[in-house]
Structure 1
Amino acid sequence: MAVDGVAAATAAPTTSSATGSTASKAAAKASVDYDSFLKLLIAQMKNQDPTDPMDASAQIAQLATFSQVEQSIQMNSNLETLITGNALTNASSYIGKTITSADEKTSGIVASVRVYTDTMVATTTEGKEVPIVVGVRVGTKPATETSDS
């Protein structure tokens, strides 16, 4: 037997955000899923067979399990925020230092760093881009040379 409230409660909402982070999307989805779970649980309770009702301990176990999943999602969201902050701190430490690409074809002084979800790209003062990957060399800014005139 289909129940309209259950079908509507399990439908995924359609939202879009050009600037939303993965962490906030996961947290929002967890909230929607938790609300959907509660609606589904209420629908089960309303439509259960009175001669064979669902065990209360089974309902509590379902709720506790889902609560643990929700907390794990929130923890992952918090960890992702922490990792993003760490990546920004690391990126700022490259500015003003010399960088040489892993293939040693590009080098220069880092003017800026762009942070992506899976990598960072340094831009030198000459406008050259150097992906920050394994094998990249980073050093202190070389001393400026002075000539005797």
Structure 2
Amino acid sequence: MTVDMTTTIPTGANSTTTSTSKTAVDYQSFLKLLIAEMKNQDPTKPMDSTQYVAQLATFSQVEQSVQTNTKLDQIMQSSALSQADALIGRSITSADGNTSGTVASVRLASSGLIAVLENGTEVPVTSGVSVKAAS
């Protein structure tokens, strides 16, 4: 069985906070821009109501995108943990073929899964890694 890990899985508080804070900055910037526009409009020429509704709809879409990204991160972490559980007790060979052994534990890092062998060697679970039933 070849395990192909083509995407990285963000985990831990640091990477989640980083991706969330970047999105939150965009979200906060949009909110500040909307408030500044509303505060600085000419009272004798108020904003067109269709523009106002369109901006509120955009604001709602940004908020939903932030929530969707958070949920997708949680699903990806759950999927990675399921993969990790399936590796324990199996024989694994690194992509270059130089390292092999039985997986004692699996660690979830920001770069993906890392299999820890019984002898303490760590093997990143990337494209080309071979996993077999332990003999």
Q: Please state which band the TM-score falls in when normalised by the shorter chain.
A: 0.7 to 0.9
Q: Which runs of 5+ in 1 are unaligned?
A: 1-18, 143-149
* 1:100 partner letter: T
The whole-number CA distance in structure 1 between the counterparts of 2:85 and 2:129 is 16
**TM-align CA RMSD:** 2.4
> For residues 98-136 of structure 1, what are the alpha-carbon distances to aligned partners after superposition, in whole Å with 9 as ceiling and x for unaligned?
111122111111001111223211111111121111221
Aligned residue-pair number: 124
Tell me the TM-score normalised to structure 2 length: 0.75
- SS of equivalent residue, structure 2 residue 13: coil
Q: Residue by residue, what CA displacement relative to the aligned partner does 1:72-117 show, whole Å, maximum 9, x if unpaired? A: 1211110111011100110111001111112211111100111122
Query: Once the two structures are superposed, what CA deviation does each residue of 1:45-81 show, in whole Å capped at 9, x if it has no partner?
Result: 3432133221122111111012112211211110111
Identity of aligned residues (%): 51
Greater relative contact order, per chain length (Cα 8 Å cut-off, separation 6+): 2
1:59 is matched with: 52
Aligned match of 1:110? 103
> Which has the larger share of strand?
2
Question: Partner residue of 2:127?
Answer: 134
Long gaps (5+) in structure 2: 1-11
Is the 8 Å Cα contact of residues 26 and 73 (structure 1) preserved in structure 2? no
TM-score (norm 1): 0.69
2:13 alignment counterpart: 20
Task: State the 4+ residue runs in structure 1 displaced beyond 4 angstroms.
Answer: 21-40
Structure 1 residue aligned with 2:70, among 77, 81, 85? Answer: 77
Q: Which has the larger radius of gyration?
A: 1
